[in-house]
Amino acid sequence: MMPNYAPAPIVPVLGRGSRVWDQAGREYIDLAGGIAVNVLGHAHPELVEVLHDQAQRLWHLSNAYTNEPALDLARKLVDLTFADRVFFSNSGGEANEAALKLARRYAHDRHGPDKAEIIAFDQAFHGRTLFTVTVGGQPKYSDGFGPKPGDITHVPFNDADALGDAMSDRVCAVMIEPIQGEGGLIAADPAFLQRARALCDAHEALLIFDEIQSGMGRTGDLYAYQGYGVTPDILTTAKGLGGGFPVAATLTTEEIASCFVVGTHGSTFGGNPLATAVAGRVLDIVSRPEFLDAVKAKADEAFTRLRALAADTGAFSDVRGKGLWIGCEIDASTGWGSKELTDRVLEYGAMTLKAGPDVLRLAPALNIEDDELATGLDRVEQAVRSLVA
């Protein structure tokens, strides 16, 4: 494979719940959820069953035909959110690409070609296509690939005045992660999102929420916007949607969707029956109120332990996030970064994630068992203490 990844030295071969085993039979607790994806852990029996069942019926017929699992998933997403219409694709980057094209097309059709500016935020992450990487606010991911798509402006995240100064009637969309994931687990202030909503309304721009990482119960709400009480015009969802099976969706209103007329956009695999059958079952499970309540309870436990560890060792200057999505900012005095810490945690038998150079990120399965969570956090603690010592 090309050298664009730096895989860990171990090769996982089996996963059950929140436990994973490598080729040597060594066990790990998965506190990463893949990469904030496996919301129901590994090999969840209901997902295995639905995938197996669908695999025996129908895999692919292209979007020249619709299919029952896709219709069913679209209906569920519409019933559970603000949206009236859904476009299916296969990854977060594609869902965002569709959202951005939709916003541009809507503005073009309603207001003319000059209304094309997109406002996005420093440190944002929206995917790896050339458009989404340019809208993302991390030049290290977009530099060096030739001419970038134009008319994209970045302002500091959570700075409502900067957003206000940047807004004009030329803006067609403002794209926000309600909680920046890759950027270091930075939550939007409620007042910032409210102001963004008001500014979009005043300038007839569309508010796009990228909920690819924050959605599907990660924060304890099905979608983070529901906890904030600020409703976007377009929402993107992927990662947890398929519980590990690749699937993504772009959600919007009837009015906005109406400009995606036949032929304007498409995807060979988007909305295929295997992916949508699995996602339908994931959504059934994750959207139950008692499931989301349990996420909050598990999160309280994890936050309490990690904050105690921070107070005791001084390793973390901040432990932040929402739900089972936790960022531990490594104190500068330690001299270590997130790579060093995630490597050490793996040696101690737990999988975790980085969120930038100095934030350790946890995004475990939302149904992680209490004993798995406790054991995983024990291992994180042992790793931290071994570095502090």
Residues within the interface to ligand PLP (CB under 6 A): 91-93, 96, 125-127, 177, 181-182, 210, 212-213, 238
d(CA 139, CA 220): 31
The smaller minimum CB distance to ligand PLP, of residues 127 and 321, is found at 127
List, in sequence order, every residue forming a beta bridge with 380; answer none if it has no partner.
none
Classified as helix, coil or strand, 29 is strand
Closest to ligand PLP by CB, 149 vs 164, is 149
Question: Residue 40 and residue 172: Cα distance in Å, rounded?
Answer: 37
In angstroms, give the least distance from the CB of 330 to ligand PLP: 20
Taking the complex as a whole, the smallest distance from the CB of residue 128 to ligand PLP amounts, in Å, to 6
Least distance CB 97 / ligand PLP (angstroms): 9
Residues sharing a CB contact under 8 Å with residue 188, sequence separation 6 or more, in sequence order:
157, 158, 176, 177, 178, 179, 180, 228
- Least Å distance, CB 145 to ligand PLP, is 16
* Cβ closest to ligand PLP, residue 247 vs residue 315: 247
Q: Are 330 and 387 in contact (CB under 8 A)?
A: no
Q: Could you tell me the smallest distance in angstroms from the CB atom of residue 37 to ligand PLP?
A: 8
DSSP H helices, the chain, are: 33-36, 45-55, 68-80, 92-111, 130-135, 139-142, 160-166, 190-202, 224-228, 254-257, 273-286, 289-313, 338-347, 370-388
Helix (H, G, I), strand (E, B) or coil at 252: strand
Shorter beta-carbon distance to ligand PLP: residue 17 or 127:
127
Q: Which is nearer to ligand PLP, 41 or 215 (CB)?
A: 215
Least spacing, CB of residue 328 vs ligand PLP, in Å: 18
Which residue's CB comes closest to ligand PLP? 92
Tell how far CA 275 is from the center of its chain. Answer: 17
Task: Count other Cβ atoms within 10 Å, centred on residue 147.
Answer: 7
**What residues pair up with 320 in beta bridges, in sequence order?**
327
Give me the least distance between CB of 34 and ligand PLP, in Å please. 11
